[in-house]
Structure 1
Amino acid sequence: MQKAPAIESVESTETGPAAASASLDIVLLRTFLQVVDAGGFALAGEQLALTPSAVSGHIRRLEESAGARLLARTTRRLELTPAGETLYIYARNIVDLEREARARLHGHAMHGRLRVGASEDFAGTWLPRVLQTFRRWHPDAAIELKVGITADLLRQQGRGKLDVVFGKQCARISDDIGDEGELLWEEPLVWAYSAVSALEADAPVPLAVFPDPCVYRESALAALAASGRPWRIAFESGSMAGCVAAALAGFAVAPIARSQLRDGLRELGVADGLPELPDAQFYAFARKVAPAVTALVEAVRELGARNRFASVALR
Structure 2
Amino acid sequence: MNNLHPLLSYLVEWGAMDKTVGTSSPTLDIVLLRTFLEVVDSGGFALAAERLALTPSAVSGHIKRLELAAGDTLLARTTRRLDLTQAGETLYAYARNIVDLEREARARLRGSTIQGRLRVGASEDFAGTWLPQVLQGFHRWHPQASIELKVGITADLLRQQERGHLDVVFGKRCSRTNGEGELLWREPLVWAYASACAADLAEALPLAVFPEPCIYREAALAALGSVARPWRVVFESGSMAGCLSAALAGFAVTVVARSQLREGLRELGEEERLPALPAACFYAFSPRTNPAARALIEAVRSIGQRSRFMAARLHGG
* Cα separation, 2, equivalents of 1:183 and 1:53: 22
1:45 paired with 2:65, answer no
The number of equivalent residue pairs is 295
Measured against aligned partners, the alpha-carbon deviations of 1:120-154 in whole angstroms (never above 9, x if no partner) come to 10001111122223223212111111111222222
Distance in 2, Cα, partners of 1:162 & 1:125: 21
1:238 is matched with which residue?
238
Aligned to 1:269: 269
Task: Determine which of 97, 102, 105 is the counterpart of 1:101.
Answer: 105
Distance in 2 between residues matched to 1:141 and 1:199, nearest whole Å: 47
1:209 touches 1:237 (CA, 8 Å); kept in 2?
A: yes
Aligned to 1:84: 88
Match of 2:157 in 1: 153
1:127 alignment partner, one of 124, 131, 135: 131
TM-score (norm 1): 0.81
Equivalent residue runs for 1:1-315 within 5 Å: 23-73=27-77, 77-107=81-111, 109-171=113-175, 180-286=180-286, 289-309=289-309, 312=312
Map Cα deviations across residues 9-39 of structure 1 (whole Å, 9 max, x no partner). xxxxxxxx76996543222222222222222
**Unpaired stretches in structure 2, ≥5 consecutive residues:** 1-20
Give, in angstroms, the shift of residue 74 of structure 1.
5.0
Gaps of 5+ in 1: 1-16
Q: Which range moved further: 143-152 or 302-311?
A: 302-311
Q: Which shows bigger deviation, 251-260 or 263-272?
A: 263-272
Amino acid across the alignment from 2:148: E
Deviation at 1:310, TM superposition (A): 5.7
Structure 1 pair 19–45 and aligned structure 2 pair: CA distance change class (3 A):
farther
The worse-fitting range, judged by mean Cα deviation, of 209-218 and 140-149 is: 209-218
Higher RCO (CA-CA < 8 Å; seq separation 6+): 1
For 2:161 and 2:135, how far apart are their aligned partners in 1? 21
Q: Once the 2 structures are TM-superposed, how far is the Cα of residue 68 of structure 1 from its aligned partner? A: 4.1
Structure 2: which amino acid aligns with 1:189? L
TM-score, structure 2 normalization: 0.81
For each residue in 1:244-296, what CA deviation from the matched residue of structure 2 results, as whole angstroms up to 9, or x when unmatched? 11111211000111221122222222331223333222222225731011111
Percent of paired sites with the same residue: 71
Q: 1:210 to 1:51 in 2, by over 3 A?
A: closer
Q: Secondary structure at the match of 1:277?
A: coil
